[in-house]
Structure 1
Amino acid sequence: MTFLKNFAIISMNKKAEIFIENNAKIKYKEIYMIQLEHISKSYKKIPALSDLSYTFEQNNAYGILGINGAGKSTLIGCLTGNLSHSGTIRYEGINLNQIGYVPQELAIYPELSVLDNLLFFASVFKVPKEQAKSRAAGLIERTGLQDKTYEKVKNLSGGMKRKLNLITGLIHNPKLLICDEVCVGIDPISRQEILEYLKELQLNGMSIIYTSHYLDEIEFLCGKILFLHQGKLILEGITAELVKTISGKEKPDLSDLFIQVIRKDGAL
């Protein structure tokens, strides 16, 4: 779990720059944003992100779209501080310890119980013990895992593991949640329950950055979308408004927009 070690020390990663106004101590504002300014990243001289600039604002859910190799995972790595890059990421009114990250790979320990996994991740973020216990109980109840509180993770179903994977990213009560393919490989009921929970979180003020190959998930959850292709941002905007631009269909959806955008850019 190398990425877990990386994420646990994000706040000490010198490659992730945090700008504080007037060099003052961090004072958390009601309004915050993350500004990407000319972000580029290459692997062995092959560009994965090219001069990407964008601003993520609070109280929004953002869907990041693109075919395999478009740069989605690289962007997530830059946002979480796990990847070095050129350009600047400015965290205004928020710091990296207030970001939750739910990776595609299950970041939970199979030999620990559901509760012990949550308490471990709470300790990583230095959540006080009593507060951690209270939060863990609430998250377990909200995701319907009460009967599995003391069960080892290795004995859980795939859907239950995905739910636990999600709430480990919520245990420290983040302002922003970054989700990378969180519903991959699970049954339809668990998938819908996770999506409805994420929607609830977003409606209650949490910002979400979300990647998925399932476009219906993004259309359900995300009010704004970003299309990446070959490491470049080729289209961004309000999801519903962009979908309305599709002609020739009575009820166009995000999949129609995706195909049109990617074909136009020569990927299909």
Structure 2
Amino acid sequence: MAQDEILTCRELRKTFGDLVAVADVGFTIAAGETYGLLDPNGAGKTTTISMIAGILDRDGGEVLVCGRPHSPSSTWGKRRIGYVPQELALYPDLTARENLRFFARLHGLGRAEARRRADEVLAVVGLTDRAGDAVKELSGGMKRRLNIGAGLLHRPPLLILDEPTAGVDPQSRHAILESVAALAGEGAAILCTTHYMEEAERLCDRIGILDHGRIRAEGTRRELVGLVGELDRITLTVEGPRLVPSLLALPEVREATGHEGRVEVMVEDAGRALPRVLGAASDAGVTVRAVEVHEPNLESVFLHLTGKALRD
């Protein structure tokens, strides 16, 4: 195990009768890394995270948390996992603060520490001003944020988030994503499932795409896009002499076409190629009025690998 690996899964398998729900799934998550698990509905994602969290026993394979074997009977491992389910796990008649203090006590924190930690977590999820309100009085987005807070109370090195922004308003979604990014920045390893492709692109350092219980592909966004051979597109609005021949001479440029003051340039990595493209325009005496960069997204990769949209 690498020194900073918090979660290691190897060859996870689970069947329900004749149905193979998970087949030989494996991946790792390091400290400070956010790993996204994406799948079409019913393709094994929930079963996989349930086995990792120790909620569901597995038929085969291995789960290591902080280098030690983990299973449904492993108290040591569960103390190092913060599991935030898609369904709200809160008491509606208790206040936000009372809920957190209660769950902190369940995690073994002493009374004084539970009070202090509850207030710290309320600040993390942006609910300090609603601490005394009953959960039933909070908006859906606030409940989601409090649900995440309950998973943070014992400072787990591994946080599992199952659809953390499902059904919330845009403002709450932004607050949740900001909180998750901050937690990763503080060193937490995060396993996140989502049905929002833009969230995966924004949050996740690496992504695993599940289909029919197997990981079809894994990597960074750039690596996944590379699997289907899609290129970045740079669109230039220009004035001056022909630019296309100069661009085609650049090793970074795969294709270039021009028409009525617009030049379309296809490259593998727009971030690296753009300075050379603009330099070629300057050398050719071309004035660039506007630049647009379009990078291929995960949606096209997902469709290519699974034949389905993420929300199918």
Q: Which runs of 5+ in 1 are unaligned?
A: 1-28
Distance, in Å, in 2 between the alignment partners of 1:63 and 1:32 is 16
> Counterpart in 2 of 1:187?
169
- Tell me by how many angstroms 1:249 deviates: 5.7
Identify if the C-alpha distance between structure 1 residues 37 and 142 changes in structure 2 by more than 3 Å, giving closer, same or farther.
Answer: closer
Is 1:107 matched up with 2:89?
Answer: yes
Amino acid at match of 1:80: A
Equivalent residue number for residue 178 of structure 2: 196
1:253 corresponds to which of 297, 301, 304: 297
Counterpart Cα distance in 2 of 1:259 and 1:71: 17
| 2:221 pairs with 1:239 | yes
**Structure having the higher Rg:** 2
CA distance in structure 1 between the aligned counterparts of 2:101 and 2:140, rounded to whole angstroms: 21
1:33 corresponds to 2:6? yes
CA distance in 2, matches of 1:261, 1:84: 29
**1:52 aligns to what?**
25
Q: Deviations over 1:93-116 (max 9, x none)?
A: 463211101110001110111011
Cα distance, 1:55–1:146 mapped onto 2, change above 3 Å: closer
Q: TM-score, normalised by structure 2?
A: 0.72
Q: TM-score, normalised by structure 1?
A: 0.83
Q: Does 1:96 align with 2:78?
A: yes
Helix, strand or coil at the partner of 2:79 = helix
Indicate the structure whose relative CO is greater, using CA pairs within 8 Å and at least 6 residues apart: 1
The residue type paired with residue 61 of structure 2 is G
Amino acid of the structure 2 residue aligned with 1:92:
C
| Equivalent runs, 1:137-216 vs 2, <5 Å | 137-216=119-198
CA contact (8 A) 1:31 1:93 kept: no
- Tell me the matched-pair count: 238
Question: 2:270 maps to what in 1?
Answer: none
- Give, in angstroms, the shift of residue 45 of structure 1: 2.3
Query: Map of 1:59-74 to 2, 5 A cutoff?
Result: 59-74=32-47
Post-superposition shift, 1:36? 1.8
- Give the AA of the match of 1:134: R
Task: Measure, in 2, the Cα distance between the counterparts of 1:55 and 1:247.
Answer: 26
More strand by share: 2
Q: Which residues of structure 2 form unaligned runs of 5+?
A: 69-76, 234-294
Cα deviation 1:184-213 (Å, max 9, x = unaligned): 111101000100110011112111000000
Distance 2:115 2:160 in 1: 23
CA–CA separation in structure 1 for the residues paired with 2:226 and 2:214: 23
Question: Could you tell me how far 1:43 is from its partner in structure 2?
Answer: 1.3
Q: Distance in 2 between matches of 1:247 and 1:203?
A: 30
Q: CA deviation at 1:244?
A: 4.8
Q: 1:249–1:262: structure 2 CA closer, same or farther, 3 Å change rule?
A: farther
Contact 2:65 2:80 in 1 (8 A): no
The residue type paired with residue 98 of structure 1 is R
Question: Residue deviations 1:223-242, cap 9 Å, x none?
Answer: 00101110011111122332
Larger deviation: 67-76 or 122-131? 122-131
Equivalent residue of 2:62, what SS? Answer: strand
